[in-house]
Amino acid sequence: MEMERVSNEVLEIFKRVRALCDQVGQKPYAEMLAQAVTFTEEMKRRFVERASRLQNILQLTAPEILMACQPFDIILRDLKRLQDESVILLASPWRRAKYKDLIREKVGADWFDISPAERHQRAHDNGAEIAKEFDDSKSPMLCSQNGLSRT
């Protein structure tokens, strides 16, 4: 009876993991990640409940149960690390865009038309700085020499 219940739960796990995998690229990443965390926490809770009920039969100690939970803890740690917004995901799909267009999206459509002093100020206002090697305030031709013409 207990083995049948465990078997059904394992099948449920596979179905839920498969459903998550099928949604990759169709659902927002953060939403899928939250579902995976919730699902893993639920599976860990079920595992601990089941192990606690069977503790006497299987002659398990509390430390052994905790040790058996380590795979859940590792998965949860990794999933939560992925929730950190500083992590850059390199999974597709990536939209194709020109570098100039990305710059214009971030700091303004007129970026390549404004003066170097205005660019420095706007970069600063956006929490960035223009590195010396890209500073065209001393040499107006530097920008176009690096393929970043102002037009």
29-82 pLDDT tens trace: 788 888 888 888 888 888 888 877 777 777 778 788 778 888 888 888 888 887
CA-CA distance, 141 to 149, in Å (whole number)? 9
Q: What is the DSSP string of 1-66?
A: -HHHHHHHHHHHHHHHHHHHHHTTTTS-HHHHHHHHHHHHHHHHHHHHHHHHHTHHHHT--HHHHH
* 3-class secondary structure per residue, 50-112: HHHHCHHHHCCCHHHHHHHCHHHHHHHHHHHHHHCCCCCCCCCCCCCCCHHHHHHHHHCCCCC
Question: Where are the chain's structural domains?
Answer: 2-83, 99-145
Residue 137 pLDDT exceeds 70: no
Residue with tokens 């999933």: 79
Cα four-point dihedral sign 55, 38, 14, 73:
negative
Provide the pLDDT confidence category of residue 20 given band limits of 50, 70 and 90: confident
DSSP state of 149: -
Q: In the chain, what percentage of residues exceed pLDDT 70?
A: 83
**Token pair for 53:** 């009920």
pLDDT value at residue 87: 63
Q: What is the DSSP letter of 137?
A: S
> Which one-letter DSSP state was computed for residue 117?
H
The pLDDT-based confidence of 110 (bands split at 50, 70, 90) is very high
Please state the pTM of the whole predicted model.
0.47
